[in-house]
A and B are shown apart, each in its own frame.
Chain A
Amino acid sequence: MKILVPVKRVVDAALRPIVSQGALSTSGLKFSSNPFDEIALEEALTLQRTLGGPAKAEVHCISLGPDACTDVLRNCLARGAQHATHVKVPEGNTLEPLAVAKILHGFVKDRGFDLVLLGKQAIDDDAACTGPMLAGLLQWPQATAASRVQWSPETSRLSITSETDSGEQTVSAPLPLVVTADLRLNKPKYVGLAKLMKVKRVPIEKVDPETTMSQRLEQVSVGEPPAKKPVTMVSSVDELVSKIRDLV
């Protein structure tokens, strides 16, 4: 089996992006892998172990973006992926989800994969479109927002559970398939130093995007959430009650 895991390089999830002059400023901010994609990779590696290791299932990571994406990909290799490909997109070029899906589509067709496992969304634009669009272009079935993934060797099908408002829903499908990962799917492990060191000088395959698309959406404005109102302390229960009364 060949598994493709697309990983997006995003502003670190624990940092607060700065809005200046109506645009997001990322200068000086640290970039990391999209946490949802890290979860997808962890699941791909688990699946690989279930299937009998790299000889039976290969994990290939791909990232689209500026040169710094190689850091993200090297991290993927340290975590246990066998291959990594960097699709070069110049700094400052924003790819819309459809463009990403088209590039991934070309890559999947070209190299031949059985399963694409990716995060259900990226934490920067929250679009949550890439997975479904890719499934559409490939004309593959898709299971989104997976919180549990199970491989059945008897039927050669994957069953995917996702959380719904009122409980859980489980679907099953044969390969090829697109699966998008939710937060609760797993907890990625720390990467061991020895593995980090090992991949430090491994060359990363670089390719130019086959499809380029002009940007169709224009970012009009970016704003910060409204500031929270300061808390006022009340000195007695009576005062609290009267304040609540004023509110209702």
Chain B
Amino acid sequence: MLKNLIWRQSPRVRSLVPRSFTAFYASKVPLTSESYLSLKRNDSFKRLSSDDIEYFRTVLSKQELLGSKEEGDLDPFNEDWMQKYRGQASLVLKPKTVEKVSLILNYCNEEKLAVVPQGGNTDLVGGSVPVFDEIVLSLSNLNKVRSFDPVSGIFKCDAGVILETANDYLVQRDHIFPLDLGAKGSCQIGGVVATNAGGQRLLRYGSLHGNVLGLEVVLPDGTILDSMHSLRKDNTGYDLKQLFIGAEGTIGVVTGVSILTPPKPRAVNVSFLAVKSYEDVQKVFVKAKGELAEILSAFEFMDAKSIELTRDHLKKDDITFPLEDEYPFYILLETSGSNKEHDDAKLEKFLETAMESELVIDGTMAQDETELKNLWHWREMIPESAQCNGGVYKYDVSLPLKDLYSLVEATNARLESEGLIGDESKPVIAAVGYGHIGDGNLHLNLACREYNKTIEKCLEPFIYQFVQSKHGSISAEHGLGFQKKNYIQYTKNEVEINMMKDIKKHYDPYGILNPYKYI
């Protein structure tokens, strides 16, 4: 077969380019400590000494430790994907076993050395890179599939297994990972769980809080919490694993995951539709929920600006745009089911009536697997397209559906009135909106020519106040990390925040795990 030559074969969908490719250049990312001068290093943390490194060398092999330029480039571990934050870690530990993770944390806890757990480093809120000189604990070397039960669909693996690798493994066994996101080629299962990532399959399969059946976690003092259960029902005591899902590595380091995986759908259809207003996006969604019901597996929306940025960015790849004209809003709709004839009939009926009532004004439907991947590509390449002209400010919020897009309009109006958006003389190129309508989750991205404090001041806390006024969440799926640490009160009340602080204090009394972030 001439697979590799086929024209529409899109470049590998990997919106998060491994940073090692760029590591040949001297870093241009400013140090986080210099961008945020008011932030001080916590002096109760010990500074790394040669004795500490000596200790780690006795525990770890050569391949498990990066402590100098000769041993490897540390920039990829210090810088985040958005090139917005840069830490100053001088030591990266990459243990190959859970026992070694335990030894490392036990030592760090005793010595009060601060640690940042790191997976694929595809974080979008600065949560996975050091702020000052924290040691990076990379889970990349813990990368084995542990087991898969084809009867129950329960899959167990190490934290460092890459999402795409896990999904490929499962696909070969007629199952899929219940979560999919643009960063699949780089992000790791452990990181995905620790940040409670959402993604495009959430609409169908629900969140990780429901799918994860058990975890193996190393606590800050080195204790290994083994709760790698494979039970769907278990009402014995507090559901401890839930504490670590979305805790962003602040009270423990996830080292193993047990998760329920659904069977691979036999028939998948993807449509790319155009509508004339945000009103109509909602109407199509209601219609899809009603008529496609159990086979609806993704409902994503994109505004005209986000697609315009993507068209500019993809120009070099010469990928055909699915539609002949431009429209105010686009919808990517996916169905997954077990019977192609049944799904096709439902989808065709739905599309036919949507076109007749002029709800959908243009559209296309993938005719083969290559077109299917390319249609998804238009949605998945938006983050990279928003980032590639200098930088991006990302806001990932949950809002009631009726108010969802008004945030994009309000942000544009504000940037306009402050004179920050426009042609090359202005720092902001565009404020674009896209996201998971099915989950009430908006991604507001500000494609900018540079990162600067004026933009940041214009947006924060403006956006958070807006979200609060609509009773939304300031972080739908990206987490708090470094960026949103100080804004949690816009979504959570005092009692909730205090309880979180108590938990943190109880399990990590010295605060060595992922400091300066979260709460």
* Chain A partners chain B: yes
Question: Distance in Å from the Cβ of A20 to the closest Cβ of chain B?
Answer: 13
Question: Distance in Å from the Cβ of A40 to the closest Cβ of chain B?
Answer: 13
B7 A13 Cβ-Cβ under 8 A: no
Among the stretches A49-57, A138-146, A165-173, A188-196, the one at the interface with B is A188-196
A123 B370 Cβ-Cβ under 8 A: no
B367-388: which residues lie under 8 A (CB-CB) from chain A?
367-373
Smallest CB gap from B351: residue in A: A193
Quick one: CB contact mask for B30-71 with A, threshold 8 Å, 1 for yes? Answer: 000000000000000000000000000000001100000000
B6 at the interface (CB under 8 A from A): yes
Given A123-B2, A193-B360, A200-B348: A14 and B320 within 8 A (CB)?
no
B6 A13 Cβ-Cβ under 8 A: yes
Chain B interface residue count, Cβ-Cβ cutoff 8 angstroms:
35
Q: Which residues of B contact A210 (CB under 8 A)?
A: none
Quick one: CB contact mask for A169-201 with B, threshold 8 Å, 1 for yes? Answer: 000000000000001100111111110110010
B362 A13 Cβ-Cβ under 8 A: no
> Within the assembled complex, what's the spacing in Å between the Cα atoms of A13 and B373?
12
Quick one: CB contact mask for A126-139 with B, threshold 8 Å, 1 for yes? Answer: 10000000000000
Give 19 new A-B contacts, CB below 8 A, not counting A30-B369, A188-B8. A13-B3, A13-B6, A13-B368, A14-B9, A14-B370, A14-B372, A32-B368, A35-B7, A124-B1, A126-B1, A126-B2, A183-B2, A183-B5, A183-B7, A184-B7, A190-B320, A190-B323, A191-B364, A193-B363
Q: Which residues of B contact A30 (CB under 8 A)?
A: 368-369
Question: Distance in Å from the Cβ of B353 to the closest Cβ of chain A?
Answer: 10
Quick one: CB contact mask for B328-370 with A, threshold 8 Å, 1 for yes? Answer: 0000000000000000000010011001000010111101111
The SS class assigned to the B binding surface is mixed
Question: Distance in Å from the Cβ of A71 to the closest Cβ of chain B?
Answer: 9
B322 at the interface (CB under 8 A from A): yes
Question: Distance in Å from the Cβ of A158 to the closest Cβ of chain B?
Answer: 22
B271 at the interface (CB under 8 A from A): yes
B369 A190 Cβ-Cβ under 8 A: no
Smallest CB gap from B70: residue in A: A236
Question: Which of B1, B3, B365 has most A Cβ within 10 Å?
Answer: B1
Q: Which residues of A contact B363 (CB under 8 A)?
A: 192-193
Given A13-B370, A14-B368, A196-B365: A189 and B320 within 8 A (CB)?
yes
> Within the assembled complex, what's the spacing in Å between the Cα atoms of A191 and B362?
11
Q: Report B's interface with A, CB cutoff 8 A.
A: 1-3, 5-9, 62-63, 266, 271-273, 318, 320, 322-324, 348, 351-352, 355, 360, 362-365, 367-373
Question: Distance in Å from the Cβ of B372 to the closest Cβ of chain A?
Answer: 8
Given A14-B373, A192-B324: A197 and B351 within 8 A (CB)?
yes
Question: Distance in Å from the Cβ of B160 to the closest Cβ of chain A?
Answer: 14
A193 B273 Cβ-Cβ under 8 A: yes
A92 at the interface (CB under 8 A from B): no
Task: Write 18 A-B pairs (CB below 8 A) sorted by A numbering.
Answer: A12-B369, A12-B370, A13-B2, A13-B6, A13-B370, A14-B368, A39-B7, A121-B2, A126-B1, A187-B7, A189-B324, A190-B320, A190-B322, A190-B364, A192-B362, A193-B271, A194-B362, A233-B63
A13 B352 Cβ-Cβ under 8 A: no
Q: Which residues of B contact A194 (CB under 8 A)?
A: 355, 362
A28 at the interface (CB under 8 A from B): yes
Question: Distance in Å from the Cβ of A18 to the closest Cβ of chain B?
Answer: 10
Chain A, interface size category, equals 20 to 34
A221 at the interface (CB under 8 A from B): no
A191 B367 Cβ-Cβ under 8 A: yes
Q: Report A's interface with B, CB cutoff 8 A.
A: 12-15, 28, 30, 32-33, 35, 39, 75, 121, 123-124, 126, 183-184, 187-194, 196-197, 200, 233, 235
Q: Which residues of A contact B63 (CB under 8 A)?
A: 233, 235
Q: Which 9 residue pairs are nearest across A and B when measured between Cβ atoms?
A: A14-B369, A32-B368, A193-B363, A190-B364, A12-B369, A190-B322, A14-B370, A123-B1, A12-B368
Smallest CB gap from B2: residue in A: A123
> Within the assembled complex, what's the spacing in Å between the Cα atoms of A15 and B271?
19
Q: Which residues of B contact A190 (CB under 8 A)?
A: 272, 320, 322-323, 364, 367, 371
Q: Which residues of A contact B373 (CB under 8 A)?
A: 14
> Within the assembled complex, what's the spacing in Å between the Cα atoms of A30 and B369?
8
Q: Which residues of A contact B323 (CB under 8 A)?
A: 190, 192
Smallest CB gap from B369: residue in A: A14
> Within the assembled complex, what's the spacing in Å between the Cα atoms of A235 and B70?
10
A13 B360 Cβ-Cβ under 8 A: no
A13 B369 Cβ-Cβ under 8 A: yes
Smallest CB gap from A18: residue in B: B172
> Within the assembled complex, what's the spacing in Å between the Cα atoms of A30 and B270?
14
> Within the assembled complex, what's the spacing in Å between the Cα atoms of A190 and B323?
7
> Within the assembled complex, what's the spacing in Å between the Cα atoms of A123 and B8?
14
A187 B365 Cβ-Cβ under 8 A: no
Q: Which residues of B contact A183 (CB under 8 A)?
A: 2, 5-7
A187 B320 Cβ-Cβ under 8 A: yes
> Within the assembled complex, what's the spacing in Å between the Cα atoms of A194 and B352?
8
